[in-house]
Structures are given as C-alpha cells and as structure tokens.
Structure 1
Amino acid sequence: MKKHLILLLTCLIGSSAAFAQNAHFTTAGTIEYEKRVNMYGVIKAVINKDNESWYAPAFEQYKKNNPQFKVLKSTLSFSGNRTLYAPLPDDAPPSNSWFSDMPLAQQINTVYTDLNTNLSTTAKKVFDEAFLVKDTARKITWKITDETRDIAGYTCRRANALVMDSIYVVAFYSDEIPVSGGPESFTGLPGMILGLALPHENVTWFATKVTDVPVADAQLKVPAKGKATTYSGLKATLTKAMEGWGEYGKRFFKIYLL
C-alpha cells in the first residue's frame, strides 16, 4: 500500500512538472478590441425635464436612422511590461446626428503605459483640442471574484472596481498573459484585461483576437503630439471650460478624464 502511494505521488509530481514545462504564457503580441456603445442608453441618460422638449424628438429621429450599438475597434500592442493602446479608424458611414459626436461615442485616447515605471502618456482629443497627458498610471483598487469566462480563447477572471469615485467597472483578466495592462487607462490586475465594462455608462471593450507574436519597439511608439499637461492639469482645464454646463457637462467631464 505504501509503495503504491509513493508511486502515485511520484506520478502526480511528474505530471505537474510536465504541465509547468509545457504551459505557455503570452508576453508579447497584439490584442484586437471591439468597443460597443449602447447609444440609446447613453442618449436616454442625458434627457431630463429641462431638455426633453427638444432632446426627445431628436432621440426619436436618431433611433429611426441609427442602430442601438455603435461599434468601434482598437488594438493593444504589448511587449514585456510596455503597452500601447490605439484606436483604429471608424469605417462606419458618417451620421448626421450630433449625438454621434458625444465623447463616449468616439475614440479619443491613445495610451502608452510603461508598467515598469508605472508611468503613462496619453494623447487625448478634447473637442477640437489635442492634449498630451503625462502622469502616473491610474491607481485602481480591484476586488477579484471567483467568476470566470472565456474571451478570445483565454480563461479570464472577473474583478470589480470604482474609479473617479462614481464609475463602476467590471473587468475580466487572464493570467495566461502575465502583463498588468488593458484597454484605455485600465491596468493593475495580475494579467491582461481582455474584457471591460462600464455598465452605468453603457459601454464595453472586449478582445476579439489575440495574436501571440514578437512586437518591435517601433510598434510601441510613445505619443508625442498635443498640449503637454498632467491629469490634474487637464482636470483643472476642463473644470474651467465646463463651468456652468450643469449635469450635461458633468457627463462629458468624466468621460474626458477616463
């Protein structure tokens, strides 16, 4: 009996070692993301008793001519602990509605993050002005759960957080890609974020494809164009520019600071 137990333990240890040797972790490559914005939900959220007399008819007109979801695409190139998130051109036919110009319905950020130094550089378009925001990467206090799901062929675990005091975030990360990066400015989990949702903002980012290939330094070019500022500097600029905009301005404000 004792010999059989020793033999079983030896086999288990050998199997574990073989699994560890054969396990593959993606440390460089390109991730393709699809951003989906529930435009009907976004527009509904800005309609109130003060503006419904002209917003409501415009919303009805929008629904006649536009789909509920606006779909945008982006990529995240990564190598080691450096990542570059960049939007791809929108190939959808142009919309005549000004609702389509709302910041959440666009891709306004190109984000380079060095996770070794915890510094990020973001080229950000705010209305018609370009900013270059250099600062520490956003610090997020994540709560990891036991929920899992498969995204783009990777097993991902769910984590929840609150950013900017009021924006609820749901993320799905995979430790099979041992890089603490993610789309936009979302980082800080023990693996790459392949799925991201801001439920109350009506927007999601989910990976559709992961290409496991070496990434050249030229593909991780740090953004360089725009008016140089910091996160707090941009916040101060927006606060002054949107003074008197009320609840409508508050919604724009937090999206521009994401």
Structure 2
Amino acid sequence: MKTALLTLLFLIPAFGVFAQNAHFTTSGTIEYNKTSNTYAMIEKQINKDNEGFYRTFFEAYKKANPQFKTLKSTLTFSGDKTLFTPIEPDNGGNTFFDMPLADQNNTTYIDLSTRITINQKKVFEAIFLVKDTTRKIKWKITNETRDVAGYPCRRANGIMMDSIYVVAFYTEKIHTSGGPESFNGLPGMILEVAVPHENIIWTATKVTDMPIADNAIQAPKKGKPETNAQLILVLKNLTKNWGDEAQFYLKGFLF
C-alpha cells in the first residue's frame, strides 16, 4: 500500500508537466496545395458524340500541360472563424478545357459558432456572394491515422451533396473544426481532404501557429448576393442547353 502511494505521488507531478507541455493550436495560418488530375477530368468528358473533336485537343493539351495541376491557397483561422483565400497562379495554362473543378473559384469565410458561410464565388466572368449555412457533410471517423504537415491526423470518410464521397484527415491538435474551401464539421482542423471520384485532393504543406488579429478574418463583400439554392437555379438556367457537360460545370461551381 505504501509503495502504491509513493508511486502515485511521483506520477502526479509528471502528469502536471505533461499538461503544461501539451500544446493546441488555436490560431494561425495553413498553406494548402490543391492537386487535380486534369487528364482524368478531361477523359471523363470525352464520349462517342464529341470524341473526334475533343480527342485532338486533348492530345495537344497533354503535350503542353502536366497531368497534375497544383494550386496554392491559405487558410487563416482563429477560434471559430476561418477564411480560405486562393493564391492566383502565375499563369493560367491551356484554357481550351475549362475545368472549374480544377480551379479555385471560392474565397470562403466561415463562422463556426453561428454556422454561417459567406462564399465569394467566381463563375466565368461573374462574381456571386453566397451566404448560407455551413456545408453539411455526413462524417464517419475511422481508426486510420497519418501525419500531415507535422500534425497527427485521423481519417474520416464523408458524404456531401447527397452522393459525393470524400476522405479527410483532421487533427485534434488544432481545435478549429474547419478546413480548406467549405469543408468542416470534424473535431479538429482538416489538413487533407480528397474527393477521389473527382480526382482532387487538398493537402496542407505548412501550419504556422501564430496570433491572428481580430480584423484579419473578414468576410468577402464583393458580388451579387445569393443563397446556395438561388445559385443552383442560376447555374441550371445557364447550362440548360449544354447537354452532358452541364453536370460537370454544375458540380465544379458548387464545390
């Protein structure tokens, strides 16, 4: 009994030191790379009706462009607020194949405490300001783990927009339950998220733990005000005569 009591007395200070040294990031910035397999995206758009025309341009595209397109972005976060900001690429590359899924069309502000998202969205030459509730994703957390950008992460599988399968890795070391673009809803920050069937993945490359000023996270203000439901109607009307390509563009702009 005396030995057990002495052991406990030694362990109590050790637990105190561990608690003091345990660190959780509450504010800072995260740099992401969005990587898209453009060859696979284009291949999906080629069918028997357009193959003669598209195949020639696809071969020309492959000669001038790499298979994987990578774009950079920054997520600024503090407490329950996040701001995802795309970084404009140095050049646009070949523009014959317009692929909104491979682009970064959104500047996204999220207030997780109120569950409000304000999304400045570029649709071709138009700018919309979409205010709505945060994206709903049905998550199932698994036991798989990996390190991303130096943080231990756990895998979660999700379904969004009724049928789109996503795979995310989040860390509880960053309490903010956000992520790139509009991804959210896990018990920690999403540092990697893939949409396998759409050939896209976002991966954090660097996390900077730093204080963020209160005025550094501001919602975008430019654009025509819409809700998600209103924007869907606008896009459906815009693409109503586009045949099979309509769904490809709708999905790309609604991400």
Shorter-chain TM range is over 0.9
The answer (yes or no) to whether the contact 1:111–1:120 under 8 Å persists in 2 is: yes
**Partner residue of 1:158?**
155
Mapped to 1, the partners of 2:65 and 2:230 lie a distance apart of 36
For the residue of structure 1 that corresponds to 2:138, the secondary structure is: coil
Mapped to 1, the partners of 2:231 and 2:65 lie a distance apart of 33
For the residue of structure 1 that corresponds to 2:63, the secondary structure is: helix
Mapped to 1, the partners of 2:9 and 2:252 lie a distance apart of 56
Structure 2, unaligned runs of 5 or more: none
**Partner residue of 2:18?**
19
The answer (yes or no) to whether the contact 2:178–2:185 under 8 Å persists in 1 is: yes
For the residue of structure 1 that corresponds to 2:137, the secondary structure is: coil
Structure 1, unaligned runs of 5 or more: none
- The CA deviation at 1:151 is 0.6
Output aligned runs, 1:29-108, within 5 Å. 29-91=28-90, 93-99=91-97, 101-108=98-105
Mapped to 1, the partners of 2:95 and 2:118 lie a distance apart of 32
> How many residues were matched structurally?
255
Instruction: From 113, 120, 124, give the equivalent of 1:123.
Output: 120
Tell me the amino acid that sits aligned with residue 89 of structure 1: E
**Partner residue of 2:216?**
219
Mapped to 2, the partners of 1:106 and 1:28 lie a distance apart of 27
The answer (yes or no) to whether the contact 2:65–2:94 under 8 Å persists in 1 is: no
- The CA deviation at 1:192 is 0.4
Mapped to 1, the partners of 2:136 and 2:10 lie a distance apart of 44
For the residue of structure 2 that corresponds to 1:223, the secondary structure is: coil
Mapped to 2, the partners of 1:250 and 1:96 lie a distance apart of 22
Tell me the amino acid that sits aligned with residue 77 of structure 1: T
For the residue of structure 2 that corresponds to 1:98, the secondary structure is: coil
Superimposed CA distance per residue, residues 205-253 of structure 1 (whole angstroms, 9 cap, x where no aligned partner): 1000011111113321210000001011101111121113232110110
**Partner residue of 1:241?**
238
Give the structure-2-normalised TM-score: 0.96
Mapped to 1, the partners of 2:207 and 2:18 lie a distance apart of 22
Mapped to 2, the partners of 1:51 and 1:5 lie a distance apart of 78
**Partner residue of 2:249?**
252
The answer (yes or no) to whether the contact 2:107–2:120 under 8 Å persists in 1 is: yes
Which segment is superposed worse, 43-52 or 168-177?
43-52
- The CA deviation at 1:13 is 4.1
The answer (yes or no) to whether the contact 1:33–1:207 under 8 Å persists in 2 is: yes
Tell me the amino acid that sits aligned with residue 42 of structure 1: M
For the residue of structure 2 that corresponds to 1:4, the secondary structure is: helix
Instruction: From 182, 189, 198, give the equivalent of 1:185.
Output: 182
The answer (yes or no) to whether the contact 2:145–2:152 under 8 Å persists in 1 is: yes
Mapped to 2, the partners of 1:133 and 1:157 lie a distance apart of 31
The answer (yes or no) to whether the contact 2:99–2:252 under 8 Å persists in 1 is: no
Q: 1:94 to 1:44 in 2, by over 3 A?
A: same
